[in-house]
């Protein structure tokens, strides 16, 4: 099934917003065996929108639009899609109710303009929006489909996963089965080289490697009229991949490393505290992004200055003087002290120089020392960050590095 | 001058790569008064590439292609552009030399296939590539222009800035001036309603509102043969906008709220510490994403559990028992205690329930209390988070809310 993605929004053409929706949709669709052939972006201009929609519809079986479903006058996607299929817009009472309730829940008065958002082309499947006011919709006519979704990714993503995928999958004649293996500690080129013996000459399942921030993944996919056949083929290939690079694999189900560790901690009833210098609270903040974090993370000390390391965490000044503030010794002491202070099973310590600076010796720039105190047993290490990345990317990499070590420890 | 951006690369349609090139090019072009009307992405498919190039050329004055200039057989952008203008490809000796030198510099042997990259349509302006092997080129014929750039952003960006902008600017007869105003505390619909009296019926400058996570911005833009006239018009409109919604504006130069506050703190030599419960270290982590953070943030206590609030921060247990752990009283005490502990000018405290849960009273779900202790003077407040957002989005909103209050305080 051939698909075109039509993004609508002048902010995209102004370069204010990156079209991550097209990337997300393409990835999800490809994963399931759909062929995405075009991405097109137009502004909120009725003539150009109309032209691009009808041009695309001639070239593909399904167009997915994103954006232009807002309450303002230049939001006209619903009008254009209605026009295309010659359907009038109907005020949909359920949709209107949901919009009203959205405002009520948020203790705000619904502006009158939002009523527009309940206008949907006749005959559509309506897609509820739990995270915003604009409902989406799907219009199907013979072998043509238009799916219209709101522009904000926080609304488009769940709506697509929950409501659109099942409808589109009914139109597929082959089933796709795939698994995504996640690895840490091996670069993409090395990963690909290690797998060359199975990648080369293999058509089914397809094997593709992807670089993600700080890590790599491998996607193994097979398409077949019989889902069980596809599944079997994927499993056989995965067994071979595990033989070759098993030591780097932390998930066979496309999970985040932090999630993998989090759920093991939860299962084993283990608590954790951090003492963060170079990561600046990023590890604590990442853990508290996960629902149920309060059962794992009891607290964290972001001891960014030397004074706070001494005063709040109780690091011995002489230790810092002797080994330097960025040293495995200090990292270990940070991990142990925070574990003691919070009475947790696990303590994590980080100290490092994310970048150079006048107070940083040239050789030390990018040096990171870390430690885990696991019920009194200490694991620690150090490494140098590659230059020329954003500070946020560095902090993320340090977090992954520590979580990988912790993951291996708790097994 | 109307521009279309044509991205070429199957990896974009697979969702493996985000099309940040289109965003970058659009922003740079709009800033300079070019009208970007289309983004189109196609895979490495000769027929579709050919069709999209010629379709786009009918609709705009200039097409900028990205990608398809590599050394492999499916890299055929140069062939298609040559075909379009009926120019043959010529092996360009200077370009070949540069490719050979690139390999030499990197101590690698040039594969024979790279010779392809020195083939350029006759009559092109050649754009040297300092960061890779594929040179770009510009072909002009009467009022039609095609610019072809390599796909990797690290090559495309400097090539565009250095060589393409000057050539395209010669073709402009109007100049663009614009400003982006950033606001906090007003929703997009209300913002638009407040500005309706100037948005309606106004053609120049154009006024557009945009929603960003937790906040909104307004773009005011004018185009004129005389840049000073455009500038004057924008300034007049901005003065009117300030009369209407001035209280919500925190930047007239498209800055992030946290950056605005950060630079004021830096300028006033003010230090800060946080005590974070519901934000879980997000405020500290966001500050430490900014270069120079160690001059501002001395430390942070992520006191996620009640025990750590009492033990590490020294909050009186009776205060928690009396008012509840999520209360303005506790937030204030957190702000003050962390300021004292870190001996900073400013202390920030957050306590709240990001979501419901078995230990959370129904009415309390989403309640956030915050406080700022500014040299002993306390500002505090509370609000309820909208439901159904990601925890990360909640934390971001709480951070913005506090930074907005701090921004007003330091003035």
**Interval B299-335: pLDDT, tens:** 999 998 999 999 999 999 999 999 999 999 999 999 9
User: CB of B314 within 8 A of CB of B308?
Assistant: no
- Cβ of B280 within 8 Å of Cβ of A301? The answer is no
Among B24, B67, B213, B280, pick the best mutation site for testing chain A contact (most A Cβ within 10 A). Answer: B280
Q: A155 is written with which tokens?
A: 């609304």
Percent residues over pLDDT 90 in chain B: 73
Question: A411 in helix, strand or coil?
Answer: coil
Per the model's pLDDT, the better-predicted residue between A280 and A173 turns out to be: A280
Nearest CB neighbour to B14, from listed A27, A152, A301: A27
- Cβ of A291 within 8 Å of Cβ of B28? The answer is no
Residues of B in contact with A6 (CB under 8 A): none
Three-point CA angle A65, A68, A73, nearest 5°: 155
- Cβ of B211 within 8 Å of Cβ of A355? The answer is no
Q: B36-59 burial, b for 16+ CB within 10 Å, e for fewer?
A: bbbbbbbbbbeebbbebbeebbee
Closest residue, chain A, to B51 (C-alpha): A59
Residues of B in contact with A55 (CB under 8 A): 55
Please report where in the chains the tokens 């991949």 appear, as a residue.
A241
Is pLDDT of B348 > 90? yes
Q: pLDDT tens digits, residue range A182-232? A: 999 998 778 888 998 988 878 899 888 877 778 899 989 898 999 999 999
On whether any CB of chain B is under 8 Å from the CB of A289, the answer is yes
On whether any CB of chain B is under 8 Å from the CB of A73, the answer is no
| Most confident by average pLDDT, A252-256, A354-358, B359-363 | A252-256
Beta-bridged to residue B35, according to DSSP, are: B2
Q: What are phi and psi of B271, to 5 degrees?
A: -105, 160
Report the pLDDT value the prediction gives residue B16, as an integer from 0 to 100: 81
On whether any CB of chain A is under 8 Å from the CB of B28, the answer is yes
Beta-bridged to residue B346, according to DSSP, are: B272, B374
CA B37 to chain centre: 20
Is pLDDT of A388 > 70? no
- Cβ of B189 within 8 Å of Cβ of A113? The answer is yes
User: CB of B130 within 8 A of CB of B161?
Assistant: no
On whether any CB of chain A is under 8 Å from the CB of B235, the answer is no
Q: pLDDT tens digits, residue range B271-291? A: 999 999 999 999 999 999 999
Average pLDDT, chain B: 92
CA B116 to chain centre: 36
Report the pLDDT value the prediction gives residue B200, as an integer from 0 to 100: 84
Average pLDDT, integer, range B174-201:
90
Q: What are phi and psi of A216, to 5 degrees?
A: -135, 155
Nearest CB neighbour to A304, from listed B283, B288, B303: B288
User: CB of B233 within 8 A of CB of B205?
Assistant: yes
Residues of A in contact with B343 (CB under 8 A): 307
On whether any CB of chain A is under 8 Å from the CB of B154, the answer is no
Instruction: Report d(CA B396, CA B286) in Å as an integer.
Output: 9
Confidence of residue B126 (pLDDT cuts 50, 70, 90): very high
Beta-sheet pairing, B125-127 with B136-141: antiparallel
Interface of B with A in 248-287 (CB under 8 A): 274, 276, 279-285, 287
Total beta-carbon pairs less than 8 A apart between chain A and chain B:
260
Report the pLDDT value the prediction gives residue B233, as an integer from 0 to 100: 96
On whether any CB of chain A is under 8 Å from the CB of B344, the answer is no
User: CB of A338 within 8 A of CB of A313?
Assistant: yes
On whether any CB of chain A is under 8 Å from the CB of B204, the answer is no
Nearest Cα residue to B354 out of B300, B280, B275, B286: B280
User: CB of A270 within 8 A of CB of A410?
Assistant: yes
Report the pLDDT value the prediction gives residue B99, as an integer from 0 to 100: 86
Nearest Cα residue to A52 out of B56, B13, B48: B56
Contacts of B89 (CB under 8 A, 6+ apart): B78, B79, B82, B119, B120, B121, B122
Report the pLDDT value the prediction gives residue B208, as an integer from 0 to 100: 84
Nearest CB neighbour to A39, from listed B13, B23, B395: B13
Report the pLDDT value the prediction gives residue B114, as an integer from 0 to 100: 83
Instruction: Report d(CA B347, CA B380) in Å as an integer.
Output: 11
Q: pLDDT tens digits, residue range A119-177? A: 999 999 999 998 888 899 999 998 999 999 999 999 999 999 999 999 999 888 888 88
Report the pLDDT value the prediction gives residue B388, as an integer from 0 to 100: 63
Interface of A with B in 360-389 (CB under 8 A): none
Average pLDDT, integer, range A46-70:
96
How many residues does the structure list for chain A? 411
Closest residue, chain B, to A393 (C-alpha): B289
Interface of A with B in 206-225 (CB under 8 A): 210
Among B181, B223, B302, B390, pick the best mutation site for testing chain A contact (most A Cβ within 10 A). Answer: B302
Per the model's pLDDT, the better-predicted residue between B266 and A304 turns out to be: B266
Report the pLDDT value the prediction gives residue B59, as an integer from 0 to 100: 96
Is pLDDT of A387 > 90? no
End-to-end CA separation in angstroms for chain A:
43
Instruction: Report d(CA B8, CA B75) in Å as an integer.
Output: 9
Residues of B in contact with A342 (CB under 8 A): 305, 307-308, 312
Nearest CB neighbour to B192, from listed A72, A106, A304: A72
Confidence of residue A385 (pLDDT cuts 50, 70, 90): confident
Closest residue, chain A, to B23 (C-alpha): A15
Question: B383 in helix, strand or coil?
Answer: strand
Nearest CB neighbour to A285, from listed B23, B42, B281: B281
Is pLDDT of A35 > 70? yes
- Peptide bond between residue B293 and the one before it cis (omega within 30 degrees of 0): no
Report the pLDDT value the prediction gives residue B47, as an integer from 0 to 100: 94
Beta-sheet pairing, A297-302 with A272-276: parallel
Residues of A in contact with B28 (CB under 8 A): 15
Nearest Cα residue to A177 out of A216, A242, A228, A249: A228
Please report where in the chains the tokens 């698909």 appear, as a residue.
A3
Is pLDDT of A44 > 90? no
Nearest Cα residue to A385 out of A262, A213, A144: A213
Instruction: Report d(CA A199, CA A203) in Å as an integer.
Output: 8
Report the pLDDT value the prediction gives residue B387, as an integer from 0 to 100: 65
Nearest Cα residue to B274 out of B337, B354, B368: B337
Nearest CB neighbour to B38, from listed A42, A71, A290: A42
Instruction: Report d(CA A249, CA A242) in Å as an integer.
Output: 8
On whether any CB of chain A is under 8 Å from the CB of B351, the answer is no
User: CB of A114 within 8 A of CB of B189?
Assistant: yes
Is pLDDT of B72 > 80? no
On whether any CB of chain A is under 8 Å from the CB of B194, the answer is no
Nearest CB neighbour to B300, from listed A30, A37, A281: A281
Nearest CB neighbour to B392, from listed A289, A297, A300: A289
Specify the DSSP element, H or E, that contains B393. helix B391-410
On whether any CB of chain A is under 8 Å from the CB of B47, the answer is no
On whether any CB of chain A is under 8 Å from the CB of B202, the answer is no
On whether any CB of chain B is under 8 Å from the CB of A103, the answer is no
């Amino acid at each position: 099934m051939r698909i075109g993605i039509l993004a609508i929004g002048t902010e995209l053409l102004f370069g204010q917003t990156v079209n991550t929706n097209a990337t997300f949709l393409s990835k999800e669709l490809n994963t399931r065996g759909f062929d995405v052939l075009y991405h097109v972006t137009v502004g909120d201009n009725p003539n150009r929108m109309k032209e691009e929609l009808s041009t695309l519809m001639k070239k593909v079986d399904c167009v997915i639009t994103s954006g232009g479903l807002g309450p303002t006058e230049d939001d006209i996607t619903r009008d254009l899609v209605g026009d295309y299929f010659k359907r009038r817009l109907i005020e949909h009472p359920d949709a209107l109710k949901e919009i009203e309730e959205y405002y009520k829940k948020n203790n705000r008065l619904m502006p009158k303009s939002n009523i527009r958002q309940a206008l949907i082309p006749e005959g559509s499947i309506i897609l509820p929006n739990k995270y915003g006011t604009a409902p989406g919709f799907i219009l199907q006519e013979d072998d043509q489909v238009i799916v219209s979704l709101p522009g904000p990714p926080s609304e488009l993503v769940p709506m697509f996963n929950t409501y659109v995928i099942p409808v589109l999958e009914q139109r597929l004649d082959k089933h796709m089965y795939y698994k995504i293996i996640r690895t840490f500690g091996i670069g993409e080129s090395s990963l690909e080289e290690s797998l060359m013996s199975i990648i080369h000459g293999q058509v089914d399942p397809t094997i593709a490697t992807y670089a993600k921030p700080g890590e790599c993944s491998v996607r193994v996919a097979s398409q077949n009229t019989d889902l069980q056949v596809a599944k079997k083929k994927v499993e056989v290939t995965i067994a071979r991949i595990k033989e070759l690079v098993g030591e780097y694999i932390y998930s066979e189900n496309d999970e985040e490393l932090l999630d993998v560790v989090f759920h093991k901690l939860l299962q084993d009833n283990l608590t954790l505290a951090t003492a963060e210098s170079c990561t600046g609270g990023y590890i604590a903040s990442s853990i508290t992004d996960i629902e149920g974090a309060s059962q794992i993370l009891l607290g964290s000390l972001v001891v960014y200055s030397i004074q706070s390391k001494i005063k709040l965490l109780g690091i011995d000044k002489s230790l810092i003087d002797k080994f330097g503030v960025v040293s495995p010794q200090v990292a270990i002491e940070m991990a142990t002290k925070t574990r003691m202070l919070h009475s947790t099973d696990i303590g994590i310590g980080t100290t490092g120089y994310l970048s150079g600076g006048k107070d940083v010796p040239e050789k030390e720039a990018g040096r990171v020392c870390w430690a885990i105190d696991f019920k009194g047993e200490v694991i620690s290490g150090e490494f140098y960050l590659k230059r020329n990345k954003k500070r946020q990317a560095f902090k993320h990499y340090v977090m992954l590095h520590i979580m990988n070590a912790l993951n291996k420890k708790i097994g």
